[in-house]
Structure 1
Amino acid sequence: MKILKFGGKSLANGDGINQVEAIIAKKFFEDETIAVVVSARGNATDELYEILTLAQSGQAYDKAWEAFKKYQSQGIEETVLQEDFSALEKLFEGVALLGDYSDKIKDQVLAFGEILAAKYVTTVLNSKGLQANFVDARLLIKTDATFGNAQPIDSLSKKNVQKYFENNPDISIITGFIASTVNGETTTLGRNGSNYTASLLANYLNAAEFQNFTHVDGIYTANPELVEDAKKIERLSFNEANELANFGATILHAKTIIPLVEKNIPLRILNTFNPENEGTLITAEQTDEGIKSLSVLENVSLINLEGRGLLGKTGVDARIFKVMADNGISVSIISQGSSERGIGLVVNTDRATEALVGLEKEFENDFYTRDVNRISVDDNISVISIIGQDLSTFHKPYTALIRNKIVPILFNNTTTGRNISLVIKKNDLKRALNVIHGEIFGVTKKINIAIFGHGLVGGTLINQILSSAKNIELKKGIKLNVFAVANSSRLLINKRGITENWKQEIGQNGQKYTVNDIIQYAKDNHLENLIAVDNTASKDFVENYIELIENSFDVVSSNKVANTLGYEFYKNIRKALTKNQKNYLYETNVGAGLPLIDTIKLLHLSGENITRIKGVFSGSLSFIFNNFSVEDRPFSEVLKDAIANGYTEPDPREDLCGNDVARKLLILARELDLQNEFNEIKIQNLIPEPLRELSTREFLVSLDQLDGYYDEVKQNQEPGNVLRYIGELSGDLQQDKGDLEVKLVSVPESSALGQLKGSDSIFEIYTESYGERPIVIQGAGAGASVTARGVFGDILRLADKG
């Protein structure tokens, strides 16, 4: 014989009840011997409790009652259930008259959920010729008189069950959840009671298998409603299933497992709506060690007992647990600080107030002596349990949580060291689950990216990410999800990621926004591993960096402004990064895609004394002077070529004024912990004064006015020399400030600077160890593609961290 159990969602009107009928019919016509245990249909238990509460408070419940009857009798003759509806009406009327009800009455009312379900299923099956019998479990399962959570009397219940099934070959449709005392008073079996009924029947009848039909394909590595990447677990041992049940797995309950373990009866978790799936099989056979699943406890509260005066005192735990025992309150988790100075208890929320009152009474004298400072309750918590987690590798999920700015309130592990529970804030639950799951199950790690600015660099970056995403996911197990793209006024946002039509969509559907809107969206959708990418050149936008960092975003930037504002702002960003354990990468701020900043950071961190840095910092100006120096053409014509090729800004004076080179030089100085300010840099402006105040249009038509000056500079060089516009950092770099200068120089064509071609940049790093032989870094120093690729590299470095 096999015991089948169907839950409330499986028995709901529509697809659910039709699927149940089909599953039972298939087994019947294949000559399988089965007994079927049913839960209340749909939300019947909650609805009955709601009507009961309305009756108790004297409120009208007619509307709710009529809706309940209509749903429960849909598809069959109402007369089938009329007797039960009448009995319920009398109970509600009595409660309304008294204005109160006992646990005994509550059990009588809630029992009708299963009674109605079993009669409904029996009627439907018989209408199809399947020979089904309605079985009231109150005649079979006998319990003590603990109403609401009765305990079965095994010897008597077993005898009743075996006697009944000896003489009933038809399909038995049995009420789950309910039983009765030896005196015939209705009781219920508490949480997960219908599963418990089925488990007891399987035990008493030595069933071949207990098949628990639910609305999911089995047991998952996490609740798939909370974690999209959750994977089905094919097999579990009873011990592992018991651990899952103890720590909140909703499909299982510890008391369901025990009767099966006694007789070594396999339990299979199946999906009513996908019956061909083999589900999860649970047996006595041990599976491979390792982390099995993440379970969640919700509707729990944390009780904190704190007191400096408890230091060194013994017996505090005993007093706490005596209060819990006297009030019948179960403690899920206990965690305490050294010497009992602080103790945290996790209990069901509906018992938290009772626990608090009991503890305050027990420790009343300790308040007067100030041994106890306070006892408090925090209802805004959830518990995540990592089943199978070994302490030796716990640092990985813990570090991932901290990276995402989720700080557990407390955690504890079992004495076996194989299960760890974390108490976290309730609003962090979904994000925390996804972070931990992605870290420990080897599934794809999702990186959620918000990109600000989609001009040449930003647009190229977005396209690079979209075209490379599948390959990166395949090779690195990292899923890059661009969930937001924004320009100065419009935002395109989608938690599942933008598409290749993003440019058209932001034009058509882009919405007005603030940065706070994006931060809130990430919170509301529980997005983890957040990166904000700044591809703007905006001074205003960098003011958002600290707020982004404080809200769990790492920052990647091609925008040089943040690192070149006042030194106080520079320090404040670093303080925020340290405080929030976030990262800020900006390799493209100097040298586009060249590995310059990282090299300088590593040299400086290793203790190497950098004595001077010199180089051509601007790819735009590199192109201009590399060509002007060797070609017999006017300066204005070379500049026009640079503009046409997109090497300069739309107004080339932004390049020619030297400020861009100065900012880059300042960034490198600050990487050496120098405290220079921008206004301390000596900058040679390449624009003659009469041309500086013109409009862009006026300047562009006046470019030939540059020719005379630059032709003279070119002619006045030493023979064999070429012009280069450089930045140079020098002086005693062990002090607080260095000497920063941006200038046009003439250098031998045979030198490293003189041999530069095209739009390349070059950087010479002089150190104490290397002496007069500098470290030279040279390569493409400009261009949207190169810069975007450098930003992409920073994103991947962050994605690969930890």
Structure 2
Amino acid sequence: MKILKFGGKSLSNGEGLNKVVQIITDKVQQGEKIAVVVSARGNATDELEYILKIAAKNGDYKRLLENFKVYQVSDYPQVDLSEEFTILDKLFEGVSLIGDYSNKIKDQILSKGELLSAKLLTAILVEKGIPANFADSRELLKTDSKFGDAQPLEQLSKKNVVNYFKEHNGSTVNIITGFIGSNNNNDTTTLGRNGSNYTASLIANYLNAEELQNFTHVDGIYTANPDLVADAKKIEYLSFNEANELANFGATILHAKTIIPLLEKNIPLRILNTFNHENRGTLITSDAAKEGIKTLSVLENVSLVNLEGRGLLGKAGIDARIFKVMGDHNISVSIISQGSSERGIGLVVATEKATLAMVELEKEFENDFYSKDVNQITVTDNVSVISIIGQDLSTFHKPYTALIKNKIVPILFNNTVTGKNVSLVVKKSELNKALNVIHGEIFGVSKKINIAIFGHGLVGGTLINQILESAAAIEKRKGIKLNVFAIANSKKLLLNKNGVTADWKNSIQKDGAEYTIKDIIEYADKYHLENLIAIDNTASATFVENYIPLVESSFDLISSNKVANTLSYGFYKELRKALTDNQKNYLYETNVGAGLPLIDTIKLLHLSGENITKIKGVFSGTLSYLFNNFSAKDVPFSEILKEAIDNGYTEPDPREDLCGNDVGRKLLILARELDLQNEFEEISIQNLIPEHLREGNVADFLTKLKEFDPIYDKIKADQKPNHVLRYIGELSGDLQNDKGNLEVKLVSVPSDTALGGLKGSDSFFEIYTESYGDRPIVIQGAGAGSAVTARGVFGDILRLSDKG
């Protein structure tokens, strides 16, 4: 025989009840031998409890009770439920008159949910020609008299069940009320919340059932609550031990007592979905499942009671006194954490019992307060417990590091004696984000990276399109899901927690709204977005002011904007301190050399202790193009410059390239990577623009390009034979001191050298070190262009995504 148990949502009006009837009908027609245990339908138990509280306050309970009755009869007015309704009328009327009720009365009232459910289902099945029999479990399960949480009397209950099924066996389907029993005086008792599962488990045990099938509204046990973690996966198999741990750590789909009766008789438990009967669910057996983390379980509605005191260190009997208080007042403790250096004990209890726990502990330790052995006893509300079932402490650093990276600091944690389960107490406001962070780290699902992109011009727009085009392939290949949730320019912001689409340009025009950086931070917080990256593709000095607030709000930074690294050395250090304090990263490989691996190379050499003695190179792709072509062709400088302008190689105002400040900023960035404290004003920069053309508007400047020609024709003619012109940045001097010599200048070099042989718009860098002597490390390649720069930023995204 198989025992089928249906939960409240499965038995709710409409689709639920129809599905239950269909499942039972199919099994009977297939010749399966079954018995059915039912919960109260829908939210009946909660509704009855609420009506009870209203009645006790002499409130208008009758209207609520009538609504309750209407729902229970619903589409089946022909089913006679008048006996239960009459009893409820009398009980509620009595409670209303007295203004109070006992747990005994409460059990009588709550029991009606299951009785109504079983009677209705039995009547529907009989009406459809299925031989069904209503079985009142108060006649089967005998319990003690602890109303509200009664314990079955094993021998007597087993005898009753076995005898009952001898009489009502054969082809009849017994529809049994879950959750309820009775004591030796035949007073109604209940087995505690979720007790219908316990009823089904006991019946299965007493009858040596082949399997217990628990029908719910989900497909089985998941790696986390799917309502909280969208990427949660169904678990195919669990062992009883794992299921028991899961139940103890708050999994509502299982009652903590359900497992033991099944384990005693080695009866498999299958969790199934009433609404998706084709799914095979989760099978729980005595077979030891493979080791490893199985699921994340959550305890909500809990509080943390903290007892602190230096004077308690080393004193015997303190723990016994604490737990005597807990036991005397029926306060269950789910998690305990103890400190040693400054004695502290944290206890996680149900929120409804937290104040009682604190008050009674204060009474117990009253004398210890006077002697100052106890400093304080406090309660922290609004906390939740996340338990990682199957977590070994040897690998716990991975989810813990992921939490810290996302600025979630657990209040406390502990592990079980087996070392196979770890529980964390976190702020309730951080629960959703914490679950997603841990789940993403543990279960190998795609690690979600949530990206906010500021600036969507040439580089920013290209980057967004590169991400959207490559996202699917990257998720498949690297297990990283790139989600651009925010795109902003200086005026408008587009937000979508699920990620922008290829139509983002139209969307930001149509739906974009004015914003502050605070709006983006609050949006990420509201939707519990983890692994946050802010990308600055602007050229704005003003936007850099947002870097530290973003870092403090759990964003890593990536920037193609050179400003942040070339402001005052004071700001440079302040930003680094904020990054260190918040354990965040800042990548800016594209600040110098676009997509070339220059900054990473210099960082690695410097960190390894290599003494870098000089860095020299062509830092600007625009100026590389100008002087490579001017040196190679017998044409005026103005003609090459106009060609570069027409092809979009320069800034809209070419003087921004020609003044040398951009090269100076790049050189300063490299100097600061070597811990040099130079300021921008200390760089010697040769301005390529004739002095009389440096002011005025762009349009006027563009009409006077020929005025460059006599100056540069002379410079070109004055060179030694077989020499060419190159505009370079050079960092030299004793680079072990606080400051180096930074020069940006036009030089003439032999055409047969590596620098002299430069072509097109390539960037070129020589890194001289003590170890390498006169043979520099050379890095050369495309140093300009929106696609190259965007690809470099993309590389930084992937580099950050792989961290941790």
TM-score of the two chains, using structure 1 as the length reference? 0.98
Match of 2:88 in 1: 88
Match of 1:125 in 2: 125
- Superposed displacement of residue 718, structure 1: 2.4
* Whole-angstrom distance in 2 between the partners of 1:356 and 1:782: 66
CA offset digits 1:445-497 (Å, max 9, x no partner): 11111111111111111111122222211221111122222222222222221
Aligned match for 1:772, one of 771, 774, 789: 774
- Superposed displacement of residue 705, structure 1: 2.5
Aligned match for 2:271, one of 269, 272, 277: 269
CA contact under 8 A between 1:657 and 1:685: conserved in structure 2?
yes
Give 1:164's aligned amino acid.
Y
Match of 1:793 in 2: 795
Matched, 1:626 2:628: yes
Matches within 5 A, 1:671-690: 671-690=673-692
Matches within 5 A, 1:250-329: 250-329=252-331
Match of 2:499 in 1: 497
**SS of equivalent to 2:352:** helix
- Superposed displacement of residue 79, structure 1: 6.4
- Closer/same/farther in 2, CA of residues 469 and 162 from structure 1, 3 Å limit: same
CA contact under 8 A between 1:312 and 1:339: conserved in structure 2?
no
Match of 2:338 in 1: 336
* Whole-angstrom distance in 2 between the partners of 1:229 and 1:198: 31
CA offset digits 1:564-604 (Å, max 9, x no partner): 11111111111111111111000000000111101111111
* Whole-angstrom distance in 1 between the partners of 2:788 and 2:341: 59
Give 2:68's aligned amino acid.
F
* Whole-angstrom distance in 1 between the partners of 2:111 and 2:359: 32
* Whole-angstrom distance in 1 between the partners of 2:416 and 2:150: 28
Aligned match for 2:457, one of 449, 455, 458: 455
- Superposed displacement of residue 369, structure 1: 0.9
CA contact under 8 A between 1:313 and 1:339: conserved in structure 2?
no
CA offset digits 1:122-150 (Å, max 9, x no partner): 22222212122222211211111111111
CA RMSD of aligned residues (A): 1.4
* Whole-angstrom distance in 2 between the partners of 1:78 and 1:640: 92
CA contact under 8 A between 1:316 and 1:340: conserved in structure 2?
no
Matches within 5 A, 1:727-742: 727-742=729-744
* Whole-angstrom distance in 2 between the partners of 1:217 and 1:681: 67
Match of 1:706 in 2: 708
Matched, 1:113 2:113: yes
TM-score of the two chains, using structure 2 as the length reference? 0.98
CA contact under 8 A between 2:79 and 2:123: conserved in structure 1?
no
Instruction: Give the stretch that moved more between structures: 423-432 or 91-100.
Output: 91-100
Matches within 5 A, 1:633-644: 633-644=635-646
* Whole-angstrom distance in 1 between the partners of 2:656 and 2:88: 83
Match of 2:360 in 1: 358
Give 1:631's aligned amino acid.
K
* Whole-angstrom distance in 1 between the partners of 2:103 and 2:260: 26
Match of 1:145 in 2: 145
CA offset digits 1:299-331 (Å, max 9, x no partner): 111111110111221211111111111111111
CA contact under 8 A between 1:310 and 1:339: conserved in structure 2?
no
CA offset digits 1:186-223 (Å, max 9, x no partner): 11111220100111111111111100001111111111
Match of 2:250 in 1: 248
Matches within 5 A, 1:134-533: 134-169=134-169, 170-338=172-340, 341-533=343-535
Match of 1:66 in 2: 66
**SS of equivalent to 1:297:** strand
Give 2:182's aligned amino acid.
S
Give 2:671's aligned amino acid.
A
Instruction: Give the stretch that moved more between structures: 671-680 or 339-348.
Output: 339-348
* Whole-angstrom distance in 1 between the partners of 2:139 and 2:314: 56
Match of 2:725 in 1: 723
- Closer/same/farther in 2, CA of residues 148 and 339 from structure 1, 3 Å limit: farther
- Superposed displacement of residue 340, structure 1: 7.0
- Superposed displacement of residue 78, structure 1: 6.8
* Whole-angstrom distance in 2 between the partners of 1:87 and 1:652: 91
- Superposed displacement of residue 248, structure 1: 1.3
Aligned match for 1:534, one of 530, 533, 536: 536
Aligned match for 2:664, one of 662, 677, 686: 662
Give 2:715's aligned amino acid.
V
CA contact under 8 A between 1:81 and 1:119: conserved in structure 2?
yes
Give 1:427's aligned amino acid.
S
The aligned length equals 802
CA contact under 8 A between 2:677 and 2:739: conserved in structure 1?
yes
**SS of equivalent to 2:578:** helix
Query: Any gaps of 5 or more consecutive residues in structure 2?
Result: none
**SS of equivalent to 1:142:** coil
Matched, 1:755 2:748: no
* Whole-angstrom distance in 1 between the partners of 2:60 and 2:650: 76
- Closer/same/farther in 2, CA of residues 61 and 641 from structure 1, 3 Å limit: farther
CA contact under 8 A between 2:309 and 2:343: conserved in structure 1?
yes
* Whole-angstrom distance in 1 between the partners of 2:54 and 2:716: 95
**SS of equivalent to 2:251:** coil
- Superposed displacement of residue 381, structure 1: 1.1
CA offset digits 1:250-295 (Å, max 9, x no partner): 1112200011111111110000011111111111111111111111
* Whole-angstrom distance in 2 between the partners of 1:689 and 1:723: 21
* Whole-angstrom distance in 2 between the partners of 1:611 and 1:79: 94
CA contact under 8 A between 2:107 and 2:188: conserved in structure 1?
yes
**SS of equivalent to 2:258:** helix
* Whole-angstrom distance in 1 between the partners of 2:688 and 2:424: 61
**SS of equivalent to 2:257:** helix
- Superposed displacement of residue 339, structure 1: 5.8
CA contact under 8 A between 1:482 and 1:498: conserved in structure 2?
yes
CA contact under 8 A between 2:79 and 2:120: conserved in structure 1?
no
CA contact under 8 A between 2:195 and 2:255: conserved in structure 1?
no
CA contact under 8 A between 1:312 and 1:340: conserved in structure 2?
no
**SS of equivalent to 1:133:** strand
Give 2:482's aligned amino acid.
L
